[in-house]
Chains A and B, each alone.
Chain A
Amino acid sequence: MNLMGGLAAALTPSYILYAVLGTGLGMLVGVLPGLGPAAATALLLPLTLSLDLTGSIIMLAGIYYGSQFGGTITSVLLNVPGEASSAITCLDGHPMAKNGRAGSALTIAALVSAFAGIVATMGIVVAAPLLSDLALRFGPPEMFALMLFATTLLMALAGDSLIKALMMGALGLMLATVGLDPTQGLPRFTFGTPELFDGLSFVPVVMGLFGLADIMTAIERRAGTLRLHKIEKLMPTREELKRSSAPALRGTAIGFFLGLIPGMMPAISSLLSYVAEKSVARHPEQFGQGAVEGVAGPEAANNSHATASLLPLLTLGIPTTPTIALILGAFMVNGIVPGPLLFRDHPEIIWAVIASFFIGNLLLLMWNIPFVGLWVSILKIPSSILYAIIVVLMIIGAYAEYNSMFGVILLFGSGIVGYWMRQLNFPVAPLVLALVIGPLMEQNLIRSLEMFPGDTSGMLFRPMVMVLMLASVAILIYFSLRSAGRFDKFVRQDAE
């Protein structure tokens, strides 16, 4: 099985339907306030047990990259980003809407996003087999070191404070130890609760930490009346299309490479792309006034980033964002561990999923341009109705996970913890990623220690392990110093 075989599978009516559903739901999630892609993916995760696995992954991935598209609509029409990655689009997308060019901004964003997604998928097609061949040479020590490196990088890049990110990472790894221990298979931290024998299910936990806590934070303040700008003409001018082409290419490249780094959020790619466009622009003074380059570059970057960030999951089994961690969970609940062996043991799944990204990105064009009116009408629904319905949907999702109220209790507890974390400005992503990656990390650590009984130096002095461990230490030192510098600046500002 290869890409062509995958394409043939992805073009079957049932998989096209999964892609249509996934991308449509992704758009909806991007548009709706209070429901991010992580919470939506968590909500649908229990369904993957009763659906076809390939189709489920196609749908969940569609939600992820579809949400990047959906977030743009609110950025342009309302000056409110639907997703963090679309925040930068407000700077020029909203002024374009004010100037009567909302349709152009949305069409250009859709076109460059689809282009970037397709190019990034081509990048995955080329890089994935090479990377998985390399990863096949990894033993448990290398896998442990790689996971440690990825987790360290993620914590270093998450939030403002390194200490807070590390604390949440450690807490996530601790919660991941609940369940059967990998040494003897005996219950650990389960307090005699049978539901905990398989570990803390991340579906209610993620819905609580992201969805419920986000809603609690959002309703702290009463929502004002939305003032939507009218969409008069959808087609951009030839001049606008010409001005968008180079930023789309640069944005795609920036997004693709940053997407491969664990912990690098799509918002960072959008921001860097915006800065790059402004620095190469002939008229930088137009930025912030409705420059089309300020929409095209960041939109291409965030979609290319979202697609590329699936590469570390498919080839190394490393999730780079909370939503991707849930896609990893969808594989795992179906008894498949993503990583280098996926290409050897389940090529029919992996190539169909990769091929579906081409179709999904084209479908997003369909969802975006002809259906823009539908999203605008959804935006007009009062948030109080949406929040009430989303809360009940989360209760159903949490209940479905255990088929008992235990899931809802977990949702409730996680929601309170998530709200507490937001009050103290703790980042949520490290906790979720550590919770998902934790069991694999511990398993590889235990296997490594068993390979070298009584002598850990044998494990540490393997070349790849040494490189990855030293890199992790270097990252920690660099970001600690940077964090300390920032802290000093805050203290000085505070004193002044």
Chain B
Amino acid sequence: MRLQFHWFKTLSAAALVAFSTVFAVSALQMGVYSDFGPGAGLFPLSLSLILAVLTLLWLLKPLVDSEIPERLSRDGVLRVVTVIGSVLGSILLMPYLGFTLTSSLAIFVIMMVTGNHRAFTALGLAIGSSIGFQMLFQRGLNLALPVSQLPVLSSLGL
């Protein structure tokens, strides 16, 4: 676990340094200082240099046991991936299925994976709460939620 976390830390530091470098190069291209005064790149350049230096200092600090998180169980990983997948799935599916169907699906999947519910109960709750949200936000608060691009579904108001 210690070795794995060490690699995770090193990769994270490398990503942060790479991010700072890209930011610094872009800031330099925008101009840092001219005869007219400070340029658009001054503030971002200073910050990206600060972040790069701090990241290197952090990387050089040896690991202490209290920093290393506990290993996750297989079930734990599955539950985290479910939440990530539900949001990602909503991004991909909402333009095609519309809000009500996509959110019903997301609620159903999260409930089934993270709790001990019967499929019928979870489905009922998922559909009921999605319709409730649509009524509240779309009709009550005048917020236009996404509707399906598919003619069959959009004709049903989904």
Contact = CB atoms under 8 A, between A and B. Distances in A.
A163 B48 contact: no
Given A174-B23, A388-B110, A392-B130, A442 B141 contact: no
Given A163-B58, A385-B115, A392 B133 contact: yes
Interface string A15-49: 00000000000000000000000000000000100
B83 A215 contact: yes
Contacts of A367: none
B130 A167 contact: no
Contacts of A221: 76
Contacts of A392: 103, 106-107, 129-130, 133
B141 A50 contact: yes
Q: Most chain-B CB neighbours within 10 Å: which of A388, A412, A491?
A: A388
A167 B51 contact: yes
Contacts of A189: 23, 26, 44
Q: Most chain-B CB neighbours within 10 Å: which of A173, A393, A415, A425?
A: A173
Q: How large is the interface on B (under 10, 10 to 19, 20 to 34, 35 or more residues)?
A: 35 or more
B125 interface: yes
A491 B110 contact: no
Interface stretch (A244-252, A282-290, A394-402): A394-402
A391 B110 contact: yes
Nearest to A222: B75
B137 interface: yes
Nearest to A434: B47
A396 B83 contact: no
Interface in A418-434: 419-420, 423-425
Contacts of A487: 61, 64
A416 B72 contact: no
Interface string A372-391: 00000000001111011101
A121 interface: no
A188 interface: yes
- The binding surface of chain A is classed by DSSP as helix
A387 B84 CA distance: 12
Nearest to A412: B87
A166 interface: yes
A433 to B, nearest CB: 15
A282 to B, nearest CB: 37
B135 interface: no
Interface string B94-115: 1100010001001110110011
Contacts of B87: 212, 391, 395, 408, 411-412, 415
22 contacts: A167-B51, A171-B51, A173-B47, A174-B47, A174-B51, A184-B40, A188-B30, A384-B110, A387-B110, A388-B107, A391-B106, A395-B106, A396-B137, A405-B146, A408-B87, A423-B8, A423-B69, A445-B38, A446-B42, A453-B37, A487-B64, A494-B64
Interface of A: 47, 50, 161, 163-164, 166-167, 170-171, 173-174, 177, 181, 183-184, 186, 188-189, 212, 215-216, 219-222, 382-385, 387-389, 391-393, 395-396, 399-400, 403, 405, 408-409, 411-412, 415-416, 419-420, 423-425, 442, 445-446, 449-450, 453, 487, 490-491, 493-494
Interface of B: 8-9, 12, 16, 20, 23, 26, 30, 37-40, 42-44, 47-48, 50-51, 54-55, 57-58, 61-62, 64-67, 69, 72, 75-76, 79-80, 83-84, 86-88, 90-91, 94-95, 99, 103, 106-108, 110-111, 114-117, 125-126, 129-130, 133, 137, 141-146
